[in-house]
Structure 1
Amino acid sequence: MNTSWDDWFAERADARDAAGLTRSLVPHGPDEPVLDLAGNDYLGLARHPRVREAAAEAARTWGAGAGASRLVTGTLAVHTDLERALTDFLGWPAALVTSTGYHANLSVVTALADRSALVVSDAHIHASLIDAARLSRAEIVVVPHNDVDAVRAALTGADGRRALVLAESVYSVLGDAAPLAALVAACAEHDALLVVDEAHGLGLRGPHGDGLVRELGLAGHPNVVVTATLSKALGAQGGAVLGSPALVDHLVNTARPFIFDTALAPSPAAAALEALRVLREQPDLATLVHRRVAELGRALGVDDLPAGAVLSVPMPTPQVAVAAQAACLAHGVRVGCFRPPSVPDGVSRLRITVGAGLGDADWAQAVDVITRVVKEHTG
């Protein structure tokens, strides 16, 4: 007799509980007395007065939603204004705004790879890139993290096929930077395309927060395509793909996650556009984040500081990680908790997002709480 759906759900839930991997949705209010070091609002722009007013004005002007996909009637002036601002800021000739960063990655990979292509994937890439590679139906070769030699070896086996290499500029779990210059050189040798997700580099790397790709002088390189999210350092929502005009034209005509998706709502598009303006005017926000990362790293005894805003602290087990997260919250500090399958190496961690949005006194309190809790739970 087949197992009923209710029995199957119960079995899966019991297995998650036993492994310490149960997750749940916890709603939060706008004025909770909790210091947030779990979210991705790295620069504190989500609640910046100018950014919020831009979002509100866009809703008053355009309404709550875009109303359709971008190829129907969903492309609004605010979308094209945002695309021009992104190309100027990140140093690319063309950009395409999508409804999420997830959709940006799905769009570019599925539109550029198919059964006849090869996708070389770093072992630590984001789930959106993993899903994109699977949906593309290309042959997938997963290489060890940041191993350029392994990438080059995989590309050697492409045998003339179109090939994509997938990487992040700054990785979201370990917080380390990809060896982008070496990866670009390897791709150029084999006429492959390097897709770089700048989700955790935009706003934090580069002299103006214009990302690690531009910081390294790789913006506009013919073997590079950049994807980004507008929901982290820019404090809004949405995604973007940046590259050549030919690339963008190809995506508009072939990328199913873009073609059949309702366009990004006007409010987050306008918010991201205003956040870019604030970022240009206040590059010291990123400087503050890096200074705080170094401060917390010293307090925790971390030797290798992350390249971005996320500092991950290994925990002995998933259960200990959850307990440490709960202890931080009990003392008024919210931190993230990464457990399998969200961690590529299987090590559970506290994920601490260092941001510029906290005042100095709140930041000092957060550092004190986190260091005490980590010491108590790791011995």
Structure 2
Amino acid sequence: MYKKELAALRRANRFRTPVMADPDAVDMASNDYLGLAHKRKLFKGACRRVADFPWHAPKSSLFVGGYHPIHRDFEHRLAEANGFEAGVVVGSGFLANLGLIESLVRRGDVLFIDESYHASGMVGAKLVRGRVVTFAHNDPADLIEKLSDVPAGGRRIIAVEGIYSMEGDRVKRDFFEIAEWFDTLMIVDEAHSSGTTGPNLLGVFDHYGIEPDARHIKMGTLGKAYGSYGAYILASEEIVSFLHNRAKPLIYTTAPSLFDIALAHEGFDYIMKKRKKLSRKIERLKAVAEPFAGTMPEGMIVPLPMPDIETTMILRDRLKKMGFEVGAIRPPTVSSPILRVILRTAVKPKRYRELFKAIKRMLHG
């Protein structure tokens, strides 16, 4: 029934199939930034947390008995560490963004969303009852212009990412000031900045020294730096209560896996304990990437522009044969193809030097 569409994708070099990681390759493709997915001690700690209770699965939604002490304890731990009043765990980052945007933007409200915001937020934006305005990527002036053009009526909500997943750049501090000037709510997707950014590795609020207030909403995933699966939302008690009552991905689904939340809790505690050591490793890796990338990476994502899709796939495959796993990102995920290199503290700096030299040879001879 979909043969023509699949054939078109193949012709355009956009056809996808699941990729199984090679355990013998050097992982420079996954979002396991701090290598926690390989730490057996954290796995065992999560097992003990779950084993302390007579049941090991949530069994139902958060609002029909599925809410568990493991959920509650992690919500409290994250909220306190990040300086927010309250939090709620969610099944995935995609669901968190979808629920946030679909529920918060009511009729008469306006959502201002960065054009490079994650696909989950863009899907949510198509479901809102209010108006949606996109602004140029990480461009404060364009946002100010568009905010000024929209009469103040209902709520205005800005949506940005802490570290953008494809560009690898950090949200500018100006956006926090703009949210204050225009009295807007502000959603910050910290999927790629939590655990990798700031003196305490808590993300961009931490990096900029911004104390969260009632306008701020932070969401993040547990499947990246925290080495697990799932997501969370941090906000004021009022907004979290509103999400409890309006966010469909919270209400109409089974509560998040107890083991995954317990594992994320172990990972978060590990990061807090080791944050100084981890920060030093992160900065060393960024310094290694700087000469090749042309600038010091703001996060742990190094996007390398490629001349075309075919070259992107050829280089990805050649590097794989050399034992390096990197991401080949193609349109429509990005406007132009890139090789996406992830800086991971579990990989030694010398391996990144080898990788970057190999890519340079392949591109320039």
Structure 2 partner of 1:183 = 175
Give the share of equivalent positions with the same residue, in percent. Answer: 27
Structure 2 partner of 1:148 = 140
Say whether the 8 Å CA contact 1:333–1:366 is kept in structure 2: no
- In 1, the alpha carbon distance for the partners of 2:46 and 2:296 equals 35
* TM-score normalised by structure 1 residue count: 0.91
Among 4, 26, 29, the alignment partner of 1:35 is 26
* TM-score normalised by structure 2 residue count: 0.94
- Which amino acid in 2 is paired with 1:175? G
Structure 1, unmatched stretches of 5+, are: none
Secondary structure, in 3 states, of the residue corresponding to 2:341?
strand
Structure 2 partner of 1:231 = 223
Instruction: Tell me, yes or no, if structure 1 residue 259 matches structure 2 residue 258.
Output: no
Q: Which piece of structure 1 moves more, 55-64 or 267-276?
A: 55-64
Instruction: Tell me, yes or no, if structure 1 residue 337 matches structure 2 residue 328.
Output: yes
Taking the TM superposition and a 5 Å limit, the aligned residue runs for 1:1-379 are 5=1, 9-28=2-21, 32-61=23-52, 63-159=55-151, 160-180=153-173, 182-283=174-275, 284-298=277-291, 300=292, 302-343=293-334, 346-358=335-347, 360=348, 363-379=349-365
1:304 is displaced (CA, Å) by: 2.1
Count the aligned residue pairs.
362
Say whether the 8 Å CA contact 2:213–2:236 is kept in structure 1: no
Secondary structure, in 3 states, of the residue corresponding to 1:312?
strand
- In 2, the alpha carbon distance for the partners of 1:378 and 1:315 equals 12
Say whether the 8 Å CA contact 1:192–1:223 is kept in structure 2: yes
CA deviation vs aligned residue, 1:61-117 (integer Å, no higher than 9, x gap): 455532111111111101011001101221111111111111211122112103321
- In 2, the alpha carbon distance for the partners of 1:277 and 1:179 equals 28
Say whether the 8 Å CA contact 2:33–2:300 is kept in structure 1: yes
- In 1, the alpha carbon distance for the partners of 2:364 and 2:90 equals 42
- In 2, the alpha carbon distance for the partners of 1:253 and 1:59 equals 28
1:291 is displaced (CA, Å) by: 1.2
- In 2, the alpha carbon distance for the partners of 1:287 and 1:229 equals 23
1:151 is displaced (CA, Å) by: 1.1
- Which amino acid in 2 is paired with 1:308? G
Say whether the 8 Å CA contact 1:93–1:220 is kept in structure 2: no
- Which amino acid in 2 is paired with 1:187? A
CA deviation vs aligned residue, 1:280-324 (integer Å, no higher than 9, x gap): 1111213212311220332x2x22222111111111111111111
CA distance change for structure 1 residues 367 and 137 in 2, over 3 Å: closer, same or farther?
Answer: farther
CA deviation vs aligned residue, 1:211-256 (integer Å, no higher than 9, x gap): 1112213232232211111111111111111110011111111111
- In 1, the alpha carbon distance for the partners of 2:135 and 2:181 equals 18
- In 2, the alpha carbon distance for the partners of 1:187 and 1:324 equals 42
1:259 is displaced (CA, Å) by: 0.7
- In 2, the alpha carbon distance for the partners of 1:374 and 1:165 equals 39
CA distance change for structure 1 residues 222 and 348 in 2, over 3 Å: closer, same or farther?
Answer: same
Secondary structure, in 3 states, of the residue corresponding to 1:263?
coil
CA distance change for structure 1 residues 202 and 133 in 2, over 3 Å: closer, same or farther?
Answer: same
Structure 2, unmatched stretches of 5+, are: none
- Which amino acid in 2 is paired with 1:34? A
Say whether the 8 Å CA contact 2:199–2:279 is kept in structure 1: no
- Which amino acid in 2 is paired with 1:179? K
Secondary structure, in 3 states, of the residue corresponding to 2:210?
coil
Q: Which piece of structure 1 moves more, 281-290 or 160-169?
A: 281-290
| Pairwise CA RMSD | 1.7
- In 1, the alpha carbon distance for the partners of 2:360 and 2:218 equals 36
1:147 is displaced (CA, Å) by: 1.2
- In 2, the alpha carbon distance for the partners of 1:110 and 1:65 equals 28
1:58 is displaced (CA, Å) by: 4.1
CA distance change for structure 1 residues 49 and 319 in 2, over 3 Å: closer, same or farther?
Answer: same
- In 2, the alpha carbon distance for the partners of 1:366 and 1:146 equals 28
- Which amino acid in 2 is paired with 1:368? E
Say whether the 8 Å CA contact 1:318–1:339 is kept in structure 2: yes
- In 2, the alpha carbon distance for the partners of 1:249 and 1:135 equals 21
